[in-house]
Amino acid sequence: MTSISLNVNGKSHDLEIEDNTLLVTALREHLGLTGTHVGCDTSQCGCCVVRLNGESVKSCTTLAIQAQGCTVLTVEGLSVNGELHPLQKAFKDNHALQCGFCTPGMLMSALDLIDSHVQVLTPELVRHQMEGNLCRCTGYHNIVKAIVQASKCMKSSSLS
Partner 1 sequence: MIRDDGLVFDQRFSLKDFVFNSIGQSFQRNEDERLITGKGRFTDDFSLPEQTWAWMVRSTHPHARIKSIDTSAAVQMPGVLAVFTGKDCLNDQLNPIEHNPVPSTRYDVKLRGPNDSDIFLGYHHLLPFDKVRHVGQALAMVVARTRNEAFSAAQMVIVQYEELPKVMNSELAIKSDAPIVWDELPSNVLVDATFGDIQATEKAFEAAEHIVRFKSHVSRVTGVTMEPRACLGHYDPKTDRYTLFAGSGGAVRQKSELAKVLGVEADRLRVISHDVGGNFGTRNRAYVEFGLVLWASKKLGFPVKHRADRTESFLSDYQGRDLVTEVQLALNAKGKFLALKVDNLSNVGYCCVSLSPLSKGSGLVTGSYDIASATLRSRAVFTNTMATQAYRSSGRPEVTFAIERVIDRAARALGMDRLELRRLNLVKTHQMPYTNAIGSSYDSGEYEENMNRILELSDWSNLDQRRQEAHARGKLLGVGFANYVESSIGSPKERAEIIVHPTQIEVIIGTQPAGQGHETSFAQVAADLLGVEFNRVFITLGDTDIVTAGGGTHSGRSLRHASAVIALAVEDLRELGVRHAAHFFNCKPEDVLYENGHFKSFTSVKSVSWFDLSIQLANGEGPQSSLKELRVLRDNEMHTPVYPNGACVCEIEIDPETGGVDIKRYSALDDVGRCINPLIVHGQTHGGIAQGVGQALWEECYLDQTSGQPIACSLMDYGMPRFDNLPSFKTEIVEVLSPTNPFGIKAGGEGGTTPALAVVMSAVEDALWPLCGPVNFDLPATPQKIWNALQRGKTH
Choose between 15 and 33: whose C-beta lies nearer to partner 1: 33
DSSP 130: G
Containing 24, the helix (H) or strand (E) segment is: helix 23-25
**Using CA atoms, how far apart are residues 25 and 91, in angstroms rounded to an integer?**
26
Q: Using the rule CB under 8 A, is 115 a contact of partner 1?
A: no
- Near partner 1 by CB under 8 A: residue from 20, 68, 116, 156: 20
Residues present in the chain in total: 160
Q: Which is nearer to partner 1, 70 or 130 (CB)?
A: 130
Helices (H) and strands (E) in the chain, counts: 5, 5
The b/e string for 108-120 (b: 16+ C-beta within 10 A; e otherwise) is bbbbbbbeeeeeb
Other CB atoms within a 10 A radius of the CB of residue 35 amount to 18
From the CB of 159, what's the least distance to partner 1, in Å? Answer: 25
Burial class (CB in 10 A: 0-12, 13-18, 19+), 80: exposed
Residues from 85 through 104 that contact partner 1 (CB under 8 A): 88, 91-93, 95, 97-104
Contact between 127 and partner 1 per CB under 8 A: yes
Q: Which residue's CB is nearer to partner 1, number 30 or number 155?
A: 30
Q: Let me know if 160 is exposed, middle or buried by CB neighbors in 10 A (0-12, 13-18, 19+).
A: exposed
**Least Å from the CB of residue 137 to partner 1:** 5
- Residue number with CB closer to partner 1 (3 or 79): 79
**With binding defined as CB under 8 A, does residue 35 bind partner 1?**
yes
Residue 121 sits in the site that holds partner 1 (CB under 8 A): no
Q: Which residues bind partner 1 (CB under 8 A)?
A: 18, 20, 28-29, 33-42, 44-45, 47, 74-76, 78-79, 84, 88, 91-93, 95, 97-104, 107, 123, 126-128, 130-131, 133-145
